[in-house]
Every structure is written in structure tokens, then in C-alpha cells.
Structure 1
Amino acid sequence: MKVVEVSHVESSPNPHGVDARKLYDTENAVAVHMTIKPGESLKKHVTPVDVFFYVLEGEGVVEIGDEKETVKKDSLIDSPAKIPHTWYNEGDADLRILIVKVPRPQKSTRVI
């Protein structure tokens, strides 16, 4: 059994400048723990594979394609491949999200 604690994984550099820690990376899927601090946001980007987001803590605004919605803890959001998306933390507390990409991307995410 492999147990990974978020606090023991280093944040990976990313174009968004937020805390992003890869917790799981196999040929089938990738899982990343992301913390978006108050006032931070992600750059709009396109992922080459399907992604789902699970909000672990906080509240934020997610924009996928032409849709934009405020979501909170214990929400699961489906983001289809090749659709521009982004996140905003307009609140006053950290927004923590689990991001799962399935299948594991063979191409890089593209910032637009």
C-alpha cells in the first residue's frame, strides 16, 4: 500500500503560480491537490483529456466554456477535454481542490 500525505509532497511549478502538488501519476490517471489562495486565479487553459474537480475546502468560481458557477466544499465538477476552463478564489479563505485527469494526458495543458 502506498500512502501519500499532501504536506509531504512539494508543490510543482506551474503557469498559474499556485500551490499544486501531484499526488498520483500513473499511465491511467493523474491526481493533483491544488490550493488557490484568496485573490488568486488560474489562467484560462485547455486540457487535452477529461478532468474532474472535487472541492475539498472553501468556495470558488469555476468557469468551463460559456458556463460560470460558484461552487463550494463537497462539490464535484466535470470538465470535458478541450474545453477552456479556469478557477477564481474571490473569497477570504483558501480554496482546496482535488483535480483528476483521466486518462493521463499525453500532451501538455495549453494556456490561452
Structure 2
Amino acid sequence: MNIIEMEKSPVMDTPHKVDVRKLYDTKNALTVHITLQPGEKLKKHITPVDVFFYVLEGKGIVEIGDEKKEVSKDTLIDSPAHIPHCWYNESQKKLRFLVVKVPKPTAETKLL
């Protein structure tokens, strides 16, 4: 059994410059935990595989393609491969969500 505690997982250095922590990384899938503090955002980017997001805490704005919606805790959002997407935390509280990529990407995410 492998147990990963999010708080003990190191913050990754990403172009987004926000709190991103890898929680699960196998040949088949990748899961990261992202925390956006008030006013923070993810830069618009494209992933080479399907992604889903699961909101753990707070409210945020997710933009996928031409759609932009406010989402909150206990919401799952599907983001198809090759569609530009980004996140914004315009609230006064932190936003935490999981990003699950299946299958694990073999190509890099492309910033726009």
C-alpha cells in the first residue's frame, strides 16, 4: 500500500507558478493537486490527453474552449484533449482541486 499525504508532497516548479503537487504518477495515469489562492490562476494551456478536474474546496472559474463557468466543491469537470483550458480564483478564499490525466501524457502540455 502506498499512502501519499498531500501536505508532505513537494510543490512542483511549473510555468503556472502556483501550488501544484503530484500525488499519483504511474505509467497509466497522473493526478496532481492544485491550490489557487485568491487572485491566482492557471495559464491557458492544452493537454494532449483527456483530463478531469474535481473541486475539493472553494469556488473558481473554469474555462474550457469557449465555455466559462463558476464551479464549487464536489464538482467534477470534464476537459477533452487538445481543448484550451484554464482556471481562475476570483474569490476571497482558496480553491483546491484535483487534476486527473488518463492515460498519462507522453507529450508535454502546451502553454498558449
Secondary structure of residue in 1 paired with 2:105: coil
Q: Structure 1 vs Structure 2: percent identity of aligned residues?
A: 62
Counterparts of 1:9 and 1:42, CA distance in 2: 20
- Structure 1: segments with no counterpart, 5+ residues: none
Equivalences, count: 112
Q: Deviations over 1:37-92 (max 9, x none)?
A: 10001110000000000000000000000000000000000000000000000000
**Unmatched tracts of structure 2, length 5 or more:** none
The letter of the residue matching 1:69 is: K
Aligned: 1:100 with 2:97? no
Q: Say whether residues 1:65 and 2:29 are aligned partners.
A: no
- Counterpart of 1:77 in structure 2 is 77
Q: When the two structures are superposed, what TM-score results if normalisation uses the length of structure 2? A: 0.99
Tell me the CA shift for residue 25 of structure 1: 0.3
How many angstroms does 1:33 deviate by? 0.4
1:20 counterpart SS class: strand
Match of residue 31 from structure 2: 31
- The structure 1 segments of at least 4 consecutive aligned residues displaced by more than 6 Å after TM superposition are none
